Amino acid sequence: MMDVIGVIPARFESSRFPGKVLANIAGRTMIQWVWEAASKSTMLEDLIIATDDEKVIKAVETFEGKAVLTSRDYSSGTDRICEVVNPLDVKVIINIQADEPLINSSMIDELARTLLEDTSIQMATLRYRIEDSDELDDPNVVKVVSDKNGFALYFSRSLIPRNLSSTVQQIYKHIGMYAYTKDFLFTFANLTPSFLEQAEQLEQLRALEHGYKIKVIDAGCDSISVDTPRDLEKVREKLR
């Protein structure tokens, strides 16, 4: 049995930015940047790109990555991951977003250790303190609030908490990388889609609304989710 594997769900026809996983960033596709960053993890025993398009398969072959062609019928990356990991004997799966080319492998390792060291935790994700004021009211930057034990209370595209008393000093963005136990991954995928999930268009809210806990840990560095062409330019600028 493997302890930890990483899966990068890479849907080609993204609704907000079609084809973004193959966008050119300093001479490499975005999916290559993600693959190379994730490959530096010391915890992963396997790394797989799960895609619905032959164009992505061919792009992955150029940098000798590992890709699997999945069904086109899935509504989420979680479903795509389930297809890939179903036949595998593994304890923990890391869901690595294909649109975050600035991820650091330390994020993967920290998530993996969290689930391996505390078997009561079924799902975990990351947060990072917002430093750029432009991100506060950007609906593409998801915010998260946690309880005193480090479990998520809520995720939102709105600003949470709304600082009416001027006492809140730290507002956190959600970095969309997840770790699940294999058993919980399939439990989560089979839950009925929830009202909050549909209202915010945030799949992780399904777990909270059904009463499951999500551990939220601090990331050691920031990342940028490429949801729009403008986000892509931010990434290019940072790399420059």
Residue 38: which of 142, 155, 179, 152 has the closest Cα?
179
Q: How confident is the model at residue 239 (pLDDT cuts 50, 70, 90)?
A: confident
pLDDT at 29 over 80: yes
pLDDT at 63 over 70: yes
% of the chain beyond a pLDDT of 70: 97
C-alpha 100/C-alpha 107 separation (Å) is 12
Peptide bond into 161 cis (omega under 30): yes
pLDDT, tens digit, 9 for 90 and up, residues 85-97: 999 999 999 999 9
Q: Is 68 a domain residue?
A: yes
Q: Is 169 a domain residue?
A: no
Q: Is 121 a domain residue?
A: yes
pTM across the whole model: 0.94
Looking at residue 73, its pLDDT comes to 86
Say which range, 6-15, 79-88, 126-135, 201-210, has the weakest mean pLDDT: 6-15
Q: Is 88 a domain residue?
A: yes
Q: Is 163 a domain residue?
A: no
pLDDT higher at 240 or 8: 8
Q: Is 109 a domain residue?
A: yes
Q: Is 54 a domain residue?
A: yes
Query: How many domains in the chain?
Result: 1
Structural domain that includes position 190: 2-125+175-217
Q: Is 97 a domain residue?
A: yes
3-state secondary structure the chain: CEEEEEEEEECCCCCCCCCHHHCEECCEEHHHHHHHHHCCCCCCCCEEEEECCHHHHHHHHHCCCCEEECCCCCCCHHHHHHHHHCCCCEEEEEECCCCCCCCCHHHHHHHHHHHHHCCCCCEEEEEEECCCHHHCCCCCCCEEEECCCCEEEEEECCCCCCCCCCCCCCCEEEEEEEEEEHHHHHHHHCCCCCHHHHHHCCCCHHHHHCCCCCEEEECCCCCCCCCCHHHHHHHHHHHC
Q: Which residues contact 54 (CB under 8 A, 6 or more apart)?
A: 69
| Integer CA distances (angstroms), 155 to 17, 70, 144, in order | 22, 29, 4
C-alpha 53/C-alpha 50 separation (Å) is 9
Can you give the CATH number for the domain in which 57 is found?
3.90.550.10
pLDDT, tens digit, 9 for 90 and up, residues 213-238: 999 999 999 999 998 889 999 999 98
